[in-house]
Amino acid sequence: MREATIDVGAIAANVARLRRLTGVEVIAVVKADGYGHGAVRSAVAALEGGATRLGVADVGEALALRRAGIEAPIMAWLHAPGEKFEEAVALGIELGISSYDQLLAAAAAGGERAAVVHLKVETGLGRNGLPPAEQHRVFAEAARLERIGRLRVVGIFSHLSNTSEADDRAALARFHEALVAAAARGLAPRLRHLAASHAAIALPEARFDAVRIGIAMYGLSPFADRTSADLGLRPAMTLRAAVAAVRRVPAGQGVSYGYQHRTSAETTLALVPLGYADGVPRGASGGGAVRIGGLVFPVAGRIAMDQFVVDVGDHPVAVGDPVTLFGDPERGLPAVEEWADSAGTINYEIVTRIGPRVPRRQVST
Ligand SMILES: Cc1ncc(COP(=O)(O)O)c(C=O)c1O
């Protein structure tokens, strides 16, 4: 009735492309269930495409990957207050460290194997990361813990706001200052990483030793004015359903809650069994469009929890016909960005929120 196909061949090819473009290591970001594509399959595909490391937000996500048999290095950078890292360290999960307390907790969690950490510095985003005033104390303690074998500092990193090139360059300058301060305390981490997809592509000076690639590995563009095809990327997710009901109605028929749409002439309404519970944004009511049998039809009226209606006019649409909401525009399918624009959001949010009721089917092309 509904499915999202995930093209793991596209994910591997996108990673390989970004690897070649940037010329540095790729940390594949598979948080939030691989941006809705499935964390494990996305991780496997990214590693096949040449990624050397995986990135997730929290330790729970990292442990799930490890337990699923992923042996590659995995880093996690967003932690609960007072979080203990014993299990993470025992399973070789690398920790992003944003505070002195987290540094001490990571060192304390080391048993037979020392914790491996990436020190995160604040360069302007205003989220986590060590502010400049904290950096000296944390760098000095990290260097001391490393000397006595309690900790290994493998990375130093930050994250950009993508506000403007000038803002990202200012953050880059702050990152350089942090690198100098870290070196002065005796730290020489092998992996300096700052860029996510946007800067990895647009700001070569931000590439350093590794780039953390999320949205682009799923084949979607981080830019408002450049498409996937412009970047040589292939969208990996295609969202489809089968028409669940078809009804011939007269002019003046109200459609869906609130009758936001009324038919202007006799027409055919087709029911699509996907709704906001599945991540199809209610905000795209009246704006999104789907493809049925080679033609594109707009959503008629409000998107409901489980379903929405399209007005297909006099076209011969039948129950069971495939309906595509989005996929690869190079294959003639609507772009996910059309849904994002209609809903006033970004491609990241659309794919990440496709819900658990939509089965994922893995393909490789
Ligand atoms: C710290 C960090 N690095 C990298 C990424 C990947 O970003 P993108 O999907 O824009 O490549 C994210 C995602 O939000 C992130 O939080």
Say whether both 15 and 146 belong to one domain.
yes
How many separate domains does the chain show? 2
Predicted confidence at residue 323, as pLDDT, reads 98
- Residue that is last in its domain, among 183, 218, 253: 218
Measured in degrees and rounded to the nearest 5, phi and psi for residue 127 equal -110, -120
Amino acid at 249: V
Is there a contact between 257 and 304 (Cβ–Cβ < 8 Å)?
yes
132-to-123, 176, 185, 215 alpha-carbon distances in Å: 8, 12, 14, 29
Query: Both 165 and 50 in a single domain?
Result: yes
Residue 201's nearest CA partner among 177, 228, 166, 175 is 228
Is 1 part of a structural domain of the chain?
no
Q: Strand 210-213 to strand 53-56: parallel, antiparallel, or no bridges (unpaired)?
A: unpaired
Both 198 and 76 in one domain: the answer is yes
Distance CA 73, CA 62 (A): 10
Q: Where are the alpha helices (DSSP H) in the chain?
A: 8-22, 31-35, 39-48, 59-67, 86-90, 100-109, 132-147, 165-184, 197-202, 336-343, 347-352
In a domain, 228, yes or no: no
Q: What is the pLDDT of residue 111?
A: 84
Query: Is 159's C-beta closer than 6 angstroms to any atom of ligand 1?
Result: yes
CA distances from 340 to 95, 198, 205, 282, 283 (A): 33, 18, 30, 11, 9
CA atoms within 13 A on the CB side of 278: 22
Indicate whether 2 belongs to any domain.
no
- Residue span of the structural domain in which 129 resides: 8-218
Secondary structure class of 88 (helix, strand, coil): helix
Cut 0.75: pTM above it: yes
Q: Which of 218, 249, 282 is the last residue of a domain?
A: 218
Residues 156 and 266 in one domain: no
| 212, 221, 231, best to mutate for ligand 1 pocket (most atoms within 8 Å of CB) | 212
Of 31, 120, 218, 276, the active-site residue reads 31
Q: Do residues 245 and 210 share a domain?
A: no
Tell whether 153 and 266 lie within a shared domain: no
Question: What CATH number does residue 349 fall under?
Answer: 2.40.37.10
The pair phi, psi for residue 347, each rounded to 5°, is -55, -35
Cβ-based neighbour number of residue 100 at 10 Å: 14
pLDDT digit string (tens) for 288-314? 899 999 999 999 999 999 999 999 999
CA angle (105, 111, 113) in 5-degree steps: 105
62 and 114 part of one domain: yes
Give 180-202 pLDDT, tens digit per residue: 999 999 999 999 999 999 999 99
Q: How far is the CA of 24 from the centre of ligand 1 (A)?
A: 17
On whether both 197 and 304 belong to a single domain, the answer is no
Measure the CA–CA gap between 325 and 292, rounded to whole angstroms: 9
Average pLDDT over residues 68-95: 97
Span from the CA of 125 to the centroid of ligand 1 (angstroms): 12
Residues 134 and 24 in one domain: yes
Q: How far is the CA of 201 from the centre of ligand 1 (A)?
A: 13
Query: Over the chain, what is the mean pLDDT?
Result: 97
Determine the pLDDT at residue 287: 87
pLDDT of residue 136: 95
Average pLDDT rounded to a whole number, residues 113-138: 96
Asked whether residue 232 is domain-assigned, the answer is: no
175 belongs to a structural domain: yes
In this structure, the residue with its CA closest to atom 2 of ligand 1 is 159
In the annotation, is 84 catalytic?
A: no
Crossing angle, helix 165-184 and helix 132-147, to 10 degrees?
40
Q: Is the pLDDT of residue 112 over 90?
A: no
Please say if 276 is a catalytic residue: no
The answer to the question of residue 299 being in a domain is: yes
